[in-house]
Amino acid sequence: MQNKLNLRNKIVLGLALSAALVQGTVPLTNERVRRLGDQMQCKCGCYASITGCNMINCHFSDPVRTQLLKLIDEGKSDDAIIADMVAAYGKDILLKPPAEGFYLLSWLMPFVWISGGLGAIYLVLRSYLRKRPAAEGPGQIVVESADLARYRDRIDKDLSDLE
């Protein structure tokens, strides 16, 4: 009898835990909830999308998923749902910022930094190549300055003293 009671308690406990987990998460079987949730960012600190947040009983994504499901059941269009979410949580809920106003900088700055870096590399290479003397090849006449000739003579004299 004691064994059956323990088995029965284990089964009831397992069912209760399963029901609690299922109740805590909004089912993502609705394709529109998944699609719209993938366009929005979870604010629990995981920086994942609303549908990609894997925190159990997340304090942000679960209510937003429920709200998405409610808005879909009301028959609203995708654009109207996104506009409602932006009105409720601000533009920073969107994973892709809109290409307008201050958010336009987030689209433009990578290209500005890349082109600036390439321009700096070009300027450094150009100044480096400009300072380098031309290679002396066969048949080219090298004109020595008077100072260079004097130093060569001094080196030759010092080397002859060593021998």
Mean pLDDT value across residues 135-146: 68
pLDDT in tens, 54-77: 888 888 888 888 888 888 888 899
- The full set of domain ranges for the chain reads 2-95, 97-129
Task: Look at residue 94 and tell me whether its pLDDT is greater than 80.
Answer: yes
* Radius of gyration (C-alpha) of the chain in whole angstroms: 37
**Homologous superfamily of 2-95:** Cytochrome C biogenesis protein (1.10.8.640)
Tokens of 125: 């290479």
Q: Does the global pTM surpass 0.85?
A: no
Please, are residues 47 and 41 in contact by the beta-carbon 8 Å criterion?
yes
In Å, what is the CA distance from 44 to each residue of 57, 68, 69, 137, 154?
11, 17, 20, 68, 78
| Higher-scoring residue by pLDDT: 15, 119 | 119
Type of residue found at 73: D
Q: What number of helices (H) and strands (E) belong to the chain? A: 6, 0
Give the count of beta carbons closer than 10 Å to the beta carbon of residue 41.
Answer: 21
Q: With 90 as the cut, is the pLDDT of residue 102 above it?
A: no
